Amino acid sequence: MRVIWWSVKLGVAAGGCGLKMVPMIRKHTQEGASPSPLLLSAIRLIVCISLQFLAGVQPAGAAPADVNLQWVDAADLCLEGKGWTATKSFYDRLPARAEGVVPPAVWGLAQDSAGMAIRFTTDAKRISARWTVRSKTLAMTHMPASGVSGVDLYIRHRGEWRWLGAARPDDAVTAEKQLASGLGGEPHDFLLYLPLYNGVSKVEIGVPAEAKCAASAPRASSAKPILFYGTSIVQGGCASRPGMAYPAILGRRFDGPTINLGFSGSARCEAEVGQLLAELDPSVYVLDPLPNMSADLVAERLPEVLAAIRQAHPRTPIVLVENVEPGSAAVTGGRRPGWTKSNETLRKIYDERRKAGDRRLFYVPARGLLGEDGQGTVDGVHPTDLGFMRMADGIEPVLKKALRAAR
């Protein structure tokens, strides 16, 4: 019994295992009673865990350390969501020449990797990621580290993109995490979404040494990206993980690349930004900047942005999205003029351009985009995952019409 007693004490020191058993075992040893079969089984389990701990062996069921992985630089795979190649950092969202041209806030936010995703193919049975973020601020008060600084893995399963695993940094700018295990070993396509509100300096995919990992086959030459321009809502605030931002949801639904040019608090349709948008050649433009703009600013700047895009792309569809109603809209009707005036201005611009002959202009009303129950946001403005799903549901039918017009 003395050996068992010390083994139990070691088990407690190792991690608290069997703490409730100590008084029971002491009682048996003091009174000389024979332990019951149930107690003996518990003792054997505790002793086993204790010996494993002393030997440095993990208990059954614990995830083993991935020491036999090959690491593939994501830059050598297929990066989607990047509009320009000549960037200051590989994972920046605007070209290097935009520095000093666009507002400083826009330039700073362009270093976040929102909307970017690594597309790759592997037959690995387990997949890990190792990534380094550029800011030590891993989370926000209203948005978790899993969305701000985390990565998010999807697999193409039976023709559809299905969620597989996600991870976040714990307390350091570099993290190494296993995202999935137990896969069958057949080749599949994967999407790894990058952080929404942090930049990355390096991303690697880890697979077992015997597995193959390569860039996915190129998409069809006709598969142009859908471009989203807008506010923090477009950038992804406050999704729980990167794949839940509404541009990412719609990208999976349409099974095509997207470019996320959401700039938190800084989508004000500057002429310089409009010129940058016009440089790209997407299948559709989705413009959703109104939450950052007054009605006067909408009237002043949005027509210039539309003119710049139309000059460069006369036939490319453009989708205009109204300012979403706050989550409390049903019970705070007195605040309604604060956001409806900019929507009325947007509608006027839309109607005028349609009457002038722009038949490839489409419109998404705000009503219902976040639902009618007030449950779709974190703070009345920024969507939760539920809110983003509802936004995707509301925008998808209009986007379908726009994509048909793009053919």
Q: What is the pLDDT of residue 2?
A: 40
Q: What is the pLDDT of residue 67?
A: 66
The pTM assigned to this predicted structure is 0.83
Do residues 369 and 280 lie in contact, with contact meaning Cβ atoms separated by under 8 Å?
Answer: no
- Residue 56: the pLDDT is 39
Within a 10 A sphere around the Cβ of 405, how many other Cβ atoms?
16
What are the distances in angstroms from CA 144 to CA 137, 154, 168, 391? 11, 20, 9, 20
Q: Does residue 238 have a cis peptide bond before it, meaning omega lies within 30 degrees of 0?
A: yes
Span(s) in the chain for CATH 2.60.120.260: 63-81+116-218
Nearest C-alpha neighbor of 82 from the set 261, 316, 278: 261
- C-alpha separations of 131 from 31, 134, 174, 396 in Å: 58, 10, 6, 32
Let me know if domain 219-407 sits in CATH 3.40.50.1110.
yes
| pLDDT value at residue 31 | 42
The pLDDT profile of the chain, 407 residues, written as one tens digit per residue, is: 443 343 333 343 334 343 333 344 344 444 444 555 555 555 555 544 444 433 333 333 334 445 689 999 999 999 999 999 999 999 999 999 999 999 999 999 999 999 999 999 999 999 999 999 999 999 999 999 999 999 999 999 999 999 999 999 999 999 999 999 999 999 999 999 999 999 999 999 999 999 999 999 999 877 899 999 999 999 999 999 999 999 999 999 999 999 999 999 999 999 999 999 999 999 999 999 999 999 999 999 999 999 999 999 999 999 999 999 776 655 665 555 567 899 999 999 999 999 999 999 999 999 889 998 889 999 989 999 999 999 999 999 999 999 999 88
What pLDDT is recorded for position 167? Answer: 98
Nearest Cα residue to 234 out of 192, 166, 292: 292
pLDDT of the residue at 61: 33
Q: Where in the chain is the domain with CATH 3.40.50.1110?
A: 219-407
What topology is assigned to 63-81+116-218 in CATH? Jelly Rolls (2.60.120)
| 264 SS3 class | coil
Phi-psi label, residue 259: left if phi above 0, alpha if psi -120 to 50, beta otherwise: beta
